[in-house]
């Protein structure tokens, strides 16, 4: 959850009018999201749009590098009705998918009215089945979509250096540092060897998956409840395509493979659209470990270098405990269960 930027809203409204030719009258801040500052942009005639200003944070800069790929992809999926129910960019008056405001990338999207599914509970059965089908359509449509500036999965560990340096920084934190940084030290320094052990395991998996000939498809890569909205008609919308790239199907499926409903509900809905899937336990394992350590690194970097208030520190520390540390004892168990299901022909 982000704090609102200290910006001149009137100047931002004028910039949108000038760049898009849309008569924006109001901006309402939406305190959600990790990499951008979001606003509902209202017009005098009642029309609404969603405006994103990417932050100048580490995650915001990473996300900005993929806009030349993800924005045309989202537009293509929408305009060709491959996935009509997604958040897609609005073109500027000059036909561009984005512009800039005060040095930050600015993107205007269609407004999606409805209920955000959220992060907390497992997805309801109907939402999970619909999402599986949409992912199957996305993956199936790979040959039809011709986008320039494509991004491909390289099975890299781009956060490795930041993770190691952050662990080193924990040793130098003192009582003069922010409370959140001291709490981070107490939480993670005793677990340093465990974290490095997970990183070592991830490197092993990296070498294994790089040696395998993978089927590659268009992937969203961040399919969780926070990026899903259900409207009043029951349509499921997928938001936030900034992380999209061409990758193995497992990149989108790994978030659901440990759900008890994966075999009986998710996979059948997915394969009805995609066709029979050939899945690999090593690839699932790579993504399980990489996402865990990637999230850990992101939260550590924010606490050590970006946060300025105690509430944001508390939120990030809670994320580390709930989404990273709590999963470490079960990673290998989950991988073993995936391997068993694959061996029995339950999946793949």
Q: Give the model confidence (pLDDT) of 244-303 as tens digits.
A: 999 999 999 999 998 899 999 999 999 999 999 999 999 999 999 999 999 999 999 999
Three-class SS of residue 285? helix
Mean pLDDT of 65-92: 94
Domain boundaries, the chain: 1-55+86-111, 115-348
Higher pLDDT among residues 331 and 1, named by residue: 331
Q: Which CATH number fits domain 1-55+86-111: 3.30.200.20, 3.30.420.40, 3.30.70.1150, 3.10.580.10?
A: 3.30.200.20
What local confidence, expressed as pLDDT, does residue 122 receive? Answer: 87
Residue 120: which pLDDT band, with cuts at 50, 70 and 90? low
Average pLDDT over residues 63-87: 93
Q: Rounded to two decimals, what is the model's pTM?
A: 0.93
5 pLDDT more than 80: no
pLDDT tens-digit series, residues 33-43 = 677 889 999 99
- Distance in angstroms (rounded) separating the CA atoms of residues 26 and 308: 28
Whether pLDDT at 1 is above 60: no
Q: Which helix (H) or strand (E) holds 216?
A: none
pLDDT of 4 strictly over 80: no
Provide DSSP, 137-165: HHHHTGGG---SS--B-----TTHHHHHH
- Check pLDDT > 60 for residue 322: yes
- In the prediction, which pLDDT does 274 show? 97
Burial class of residue 273, CB neighbours in 10 A (0-12, 13-18, 19+)? middle
343 band by pLDDT with thresholds 50, 70 and 90? confident
Q: Is the pLDDT of residue 173 over 70?
A: yes
Residue 2 confidence (pLDDT) above 70:
no
Which of these CATH numbers, 3.40.50.2300, 3.90.1200.10, 3.30.1490.190, 2.40.10.120, describes 115-348?
3.90.1200.10
Helix (H) or strand (E) holding 176: none
Task: Look at residue 26 and tell me whether its pLDDT is greater than 60.
Answer: yes
- Work out the angle at residue 76's Cα, subtended by the Cα atoms of residues 73 and 80, and round it to the nearest 5 degrees: 155
């Amino acid at each position: 959850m982000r704090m609102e930027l200290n910006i001149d809203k009137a100047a931002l409204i004028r910039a949108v009018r000038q760049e898009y030719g849309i008569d924006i009258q109001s901006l309402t801040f939406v305190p959600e999201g990790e990499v951008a500052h979001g606003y509902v942009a209202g017009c005098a005639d009642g029309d609404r749009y969603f405006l994103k200003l990417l932050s100048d944070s580490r995650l915001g800069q990473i996300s900005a590098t993929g806009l030349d790929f993800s924005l045309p992809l989202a537009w293509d999926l929408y305009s060709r009705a491959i996935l009509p129910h997604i958040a897609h960019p609005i073109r500027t008056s000059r036909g561009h998918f984005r512009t800039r405001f005060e040095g930050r990338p600015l993107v205007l999207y269609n407004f999606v009215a409805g209920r955000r599914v959220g992060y907390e509970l497992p997805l309801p059965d109907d939402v999970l089945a619909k999402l599986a089908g949409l992912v199957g359509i996305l993956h199936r449509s790979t040959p039809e979509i011709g986008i320039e500036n494509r991004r491909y999965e390289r099975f890299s560990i781009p956060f490795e250096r930041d993770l190691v340096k952050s662990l080193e920084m924990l040793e130098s934190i003192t009582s003069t540092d922010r409370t959140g940084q001291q709490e981070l030290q107490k939480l993670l320094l005793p677990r340093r060897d465990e974290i490095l052990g997970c990183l070592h395991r991830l490197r092993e998996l990296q070498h294994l998956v790089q040696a395998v000939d993978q089927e590659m498809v268009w992937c969203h890569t961040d399919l969780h409840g926070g990026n899903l909205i259900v409207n009043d008609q029951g349509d499921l919308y997928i938001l936030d395509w900034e992380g999209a790239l061409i990758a193995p199907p497992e990149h989108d499926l790994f978030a659901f493979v440990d759900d008890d409903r994966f075999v009986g509900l998710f996979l059948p809905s997915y394969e009805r659209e995609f066709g029979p899937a050939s899945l690999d336990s090593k690839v699932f394992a790579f993504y399980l470990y990489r996402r865990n350590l990637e999230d850990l690194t992101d939260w550590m970097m924010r606490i050590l270098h970006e946060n300025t208030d105690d509430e944001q520190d508390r939120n990030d520390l809670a994320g580390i405990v709930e989404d990273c540390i709590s999963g470490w004892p079960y990673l290998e168990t989950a991988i073993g269960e995936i391997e068993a299901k694959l061996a029995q022909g339950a999946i793949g």
